[in-house]
C-alpha cells in the first residue's frame, strides 16, 4: 500500500505542479521529453523563483528553469550567500538524494538554478535543495560554469529579460554513481532565450576538468539529450545557435575596451615632452 501511495504522489505532482510556476517558462510551456524513457520516476517541483524536473532514477534534477529580469538581479545583489544544502522533503525518501551521498565524493554540489540569481532568502534556500543539485566536476563548477552564469546575468542586464533552462545529460555508455545512488552527469547545459531579439543558444560542457564548452542550437541539444527545452519557439529560432558570450561583457554587440591612453594622459605626456625639450635647449 505504501508503494502505491508513492506512485500516485509522483504522478499527481508531475501533472499539476508546473501550473503553479508557469512564469518560469517562456510562453508558460515547459520542456518536453523526446526520449520518453527519461520521464521514468520524474517529479515536477515548483520552487520559489524557479521550477525543477527531478529524476528519481538519477536522484538529480534533469533541468531547472528560471525567468530573469533586471529587477530580480538587482535584488539578488543585495543578498549575501548563505549555504544551506538540504534534502528535498517533498520527495519520497526512496528517490531523494541525501547529503551523505556527496560526502567525500570528489564532486561539487553543483547548482542548476544558481544561488546568485535568487532575489530573496526563500529563493536562496530553495536553490540549495538537493533537488536542484547535481554532482559537478570542481573545475567545471568553479570556473567554466561560474563564467557562464555570470554571462547569462550579463545578457539579462543587456536585453532586459531572459529565460533559461539549465540541466544535465547522461550520454556516456557507463554512468558513474555516488554512493551507488546518485548518477553523475556526463554533461551540463544551459539554454538561454532572449525575447527582445528572438534568439536562443545553449552552453554545453562535459562534466570534467577539461574546460571545454560548445555553443549549440536548441535543436542540436534536443538531438543530444532527448529533451526539447524550449518547445514554444519557432523552428528558425530553434535551429540557429545564438553566439552566446563565454564571459560577462563578451560578445559582438558589446564595444571592446579601448587600449589607447585617455586624452588627459596624452596631454600630460605632451607637457612633459615640451619641458624636457626646453631643458635640453
Taking 70 as the threshold, does the pLDDT of residue 273 lie above it?
no
Query: Domain 2-280: which CATH class?
Result: alpha beta
Q: What is the pLDDT of residues 110-150, one digit of tens each?
A: 999 999 999 999 999 999 999 999 999 999 999 999 999 99
How many other C-beta atoms can be found within 10 angstroms of the C-beta atom of residue 86? 14
Taking 90 as the threshold, does the pLDDT of residue 233 lie above it?
yes
Q: What is the pLDDT of residues 65-110, one digit of tens each?
A: 999 999 999 999 999 998 999 999 999 999 999 999 999 999 999 9
Q: Binning pLDDT at 50, 70 and 90, where does residue 4 land?
A: very low
Q: pTM, whole model, 2 decimals?
A: 0.83
What torsion, rounded to 10 degrees, do the Cα atoms 106, 179, 54, 173 define? 80
In the block, cell 560548445 appears at: 214
Within 13 Å of residue 189, how many CA atoms lie on the same side as its CB?
Answer: 28
Q: Could you say which DSSP state residue 184 is in?
A: P
Q: Which of 168, 239, 230 is nearest to 204 (CA)?
A: 168
CA distance 39 to 281: 85
Amino acid at each position: 500500500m505504501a508503494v502505491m501511495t508513492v506512485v500516485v504522489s509522483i504522478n499527481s505532482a508531475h501533472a499539476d505542479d508546473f501550473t503553479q510556476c508557469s512564469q518560469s517558462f517562456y510562453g508558460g510551456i515547459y520542456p518536453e521529453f523526446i526520449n520518453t524513457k527519461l520521464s521514468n520516476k520524474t517529479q515536477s517541483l515548483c520552487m520559489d523563483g524557479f521550477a525543477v524536473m527531478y529524476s528519481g532514477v538519477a536522484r538529480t534534477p534533469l533541468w531547472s528553469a528560471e525567468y530573469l529580469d533586471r529587477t530580480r538581479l538587482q535584488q539578488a545583489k543585495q543578498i549575501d550567500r548563505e549555504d544551506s544544502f538540504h534534502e528535498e522533503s517533498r520527495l519520497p525518501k526512496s528517490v531523494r538524494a541525501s547529503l551523505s551521498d556527496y560526502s567525500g565524493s570528489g564532486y561539487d554540489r553543483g547548482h542548476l538554478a544558481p544561488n546568485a540569481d535568487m532575489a530573496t532568502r526563500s529563493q536562496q534556500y530553495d536553490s540549495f535543495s538537493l533537488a536542484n543539485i547535481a554532482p559537478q566536476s570542481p573545475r567545471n563548477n568553479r570556473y567554466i560554469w561560474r563564467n557562464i552564469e555570470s554571462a547569462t546575468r550579463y545578457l539579462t542586464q543587456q536585453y532586459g529579460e531572459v529565460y533559461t533552462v539549465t540541466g544535465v545529460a547522461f550520454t556516456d555508455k557507463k554512468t558513474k554513481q555516488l554512493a551507488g545512488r546518485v548518477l553523475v552527469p556526463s554533461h551540463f547545459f544551459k539554454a538561454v532565450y532572449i525575447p527582445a531579439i528572438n534568439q536562443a543558444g545553449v552552453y554545453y560542457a562535459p562534466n570534467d576538468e577539461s574546460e571545454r564548452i560548445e555553443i549549440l542550437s536548441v535543436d542540436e541539444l534536443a538531438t543530444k539529450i532527448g529533451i526539447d527545452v524550449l518547445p514554444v519557439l519557432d523552428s528558425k529560432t530553434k535551429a540557429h545557435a545564438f553566439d552566446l558570450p563565454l564571459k560577462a561583457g563578451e560578445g559582438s554587440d558589446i564595444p571592446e575596451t579601448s587600449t589607447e591612453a585617455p586624452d588627459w594622459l596624452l596631454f600630460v605626456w605632451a607637457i612633459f615632452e615640451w619641458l624636457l625639450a626646453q631643458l635640453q635647449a
